[in-house]
Structure 1
Amino acid sequence: MNKQTLTMLILLISAYSFGQISFEKGYYINNSGAKIDCYIKNMDWKNNPTEFQYKLSKNSEKQTATMNTVKSFEIFNGPKYERFFLAIDTSKQDLDDMDTSESPKWENKELFLKVVLGGKVSLYSYVNGNMRKYFIKKDDAEVEQLVYKKYMATNSRIAENTTYKKQLWDMLTCGNLTKKAKNVSYTKNSLLKIIKAYNNCENSKIVNYDERTKIDPWNISIKPGINFAQVEISNSNLVEFDPKFKNQASFQLGVELEYIFGFNRNKWSIVAEPTYVSSYSDEQEVVYFETTSSQLSTNVTITDYSNLEIPLGFRHYSFLSDSSKLFFNAFYMLNIRLDGTTNAERRELLDDDLDPKGNLALGVGFKYKDTFSVEFRYRAPRQLYQTNSIFGTFDYNSFAIIFGYTIF
């Protein structure tokens, strides 16, 4: 049963691990200035794209558009990108590659910049790997990079070129914002705050694209479930005598903490789920020695094994619709014994507390309206001792049906 369950999970994860990313309503503007309504494939790009896929209708063939033919594109309630030919600083910022000059290394490039805030003064961003640059544009002026660069002033001291503060000082001339420019850090949130304040000071209409695509990255859920477990003894010397203790159902209750990464359309997250699993008990006759003429056996008892397991791992979502999605979990399980012993009628052979090892787990589930969920989770065999007993390896095999309710 467990092997079949594992095979099913692996096949499902292979089939859906990259899940469908939907085409969402939006538009693009071509080189002639014409606005083309369409459906754009929302990749929630971590790095600024150089092209995108779109459909003219939901059922039409997908096509690819590039910077050669597109001036800007936008997904409604999603990101917006505009094309510019501009100068960008390509200086390396890694410590091993950092140069000794405070001057930027300018290169002229054609890029899609992501619109962070649109208004009288607009803020743009460009991300490519470890490179993160911000750009600013006022009214109909040319877009310009806000200059920030680290460089090696000496062999042991890193200095900073903070020209962007003077740029903000010169451009944001409203109220007391020029004085505040010297305290702005070169981060999206800090730049967004002061540029938004300037637009409000000028009574300029603004569109906060960053806010409309932002989600709360934290989820906390209550996770009750039913655990199905069976203990099996594997003895390499007596393979024909591998007794299985009975399969039992028990209650489990967990609390899940999830952090959703803000890229690839929020399809990846990291999860921790401390879970109490109620007790398992059973007794079986076990052969521990055999000759050609006789066998030696004894009754072995597992008593009240209960466990606190802490799954730590990653989750991947595959969206089915606006309100439903599949998810796939891969965990490493930390196991803490709360209670439980094993003993044999011949106490000198076995009389010990259980000491479970860690193990792996895979799960596949369904979530509805980001609130209700159900998951089938397979756990790889968990050894109940750090070392083998005279009887062999005690393996705790289990899978669970887990329900979830997301509080926030």
Structure 2
Amino acid sequence: MLPEILAASFLQCVVYTAFILNAPRNDWNNLAIVCIVLFALPFAIALALLGFRRQRNTFSIAIFVTFVCFNVAVAGLSGLRIPVSYSALLTACLIAMVAMTIANLRLHRSLEDRVALLDFPKAEEVAARLAGHVAVISDKTTDIGAFDRLLIDTRTHHNPEWSAFLTKAYMVGIDVTPWFNFLELREGRVDVDTFDVSHLAYTPSQIYYSKAKRALDLFSVVLTAPITIPLGLALWLYIRLLDGGPAIFVQTRRGYGGRSFNMLKFRTMYRGQQGGATQTNDERIITGCAFLRRLRLDELPQLINIWRGEMSLVGPRPVAEYVAQESETAEKKFIHRTMVLPGITGWAQVNSGYAGNTHEEIHKLSYDLYYIKHLSFDLDLLIIFSTVSTVLFGRGAR
């Protein structure tokens, strides 16, 4: 974390000094005191983040800890009667939030590098799936101080023979994790064959976020309305001029709780050409609309579905009724993806892309179930950032 800490410390001091020099002030003693506090603050934030290193919500934890530490620092400076520039401190706080979020991400990634696996019959196979150098420990006297995480097989190692070794690991602060849970987090998807609804044990933060998600969706629709409404009207007019009406395509999709709803999209194919999976360079697509599909602008009318409460901004992508029926016949657990509102974008979309057959739909199910299991603000934020990247590079668009 040291590069980000030092970058935040120096940048904050430079920015704060620039604000002060730009104002008619010459209280250099106060400037020096504030700069010392700002320089030390990222180190204090980093120490606090180390205490939350076992938390998965890396974005929100880093932002929250930085915000709290900054407020404590400002309160301390105010208590000492030191005049400060609040606009400069706000700018410095934003710099620290970005730097410490990156530092926290790097910290969590490093904790996944120093991993050891206790030996059991499938240890070599699991080590190969982890796609990296993973030490396999078979000797109970092995020094484990060089590792941050110890992977175990619950059936093999939860017994008196290994209890003393695992207790030692807990005592020195090493995370002890079942290998299949770690593999799930590393790959970002669940094993559909072994998945069960009983695996869904939401934490309080997940419960609170699931309740707040609807309000955030509505806020997003209202916030982007000044851009999306004029853009939507322009696209509607463009399609009407090129191929007449209707410009909106309505399709029955499988929604929350298995209920059907009418999902809205801009019609991007010539009239009479709807139906069937879209192919690469499909000649049925209206001139210019391939670009709209690449940027996902044909999905804009789904903001109306969000407003109605039929969809969310982020969630499993709703599939057509015939696709849902075929997939449920092939895999009974496909119905579990309807336990949350479907979304305009989702974890499966940014990781697996377009599904052209039932086998690919089942593959995407592993990502959808992972999303449902690990629902969080941080995961939604990651999906939105990944979606922007996907749109810009056109991955998965047809």
Alignment TM class, shorter chain as reference? under 0.3
More helix by share: 2
- Please, what TM-score do these two structures have when normalized by structure 2? 0.24
Q: Which has the larger radius of gyration?
A: 1
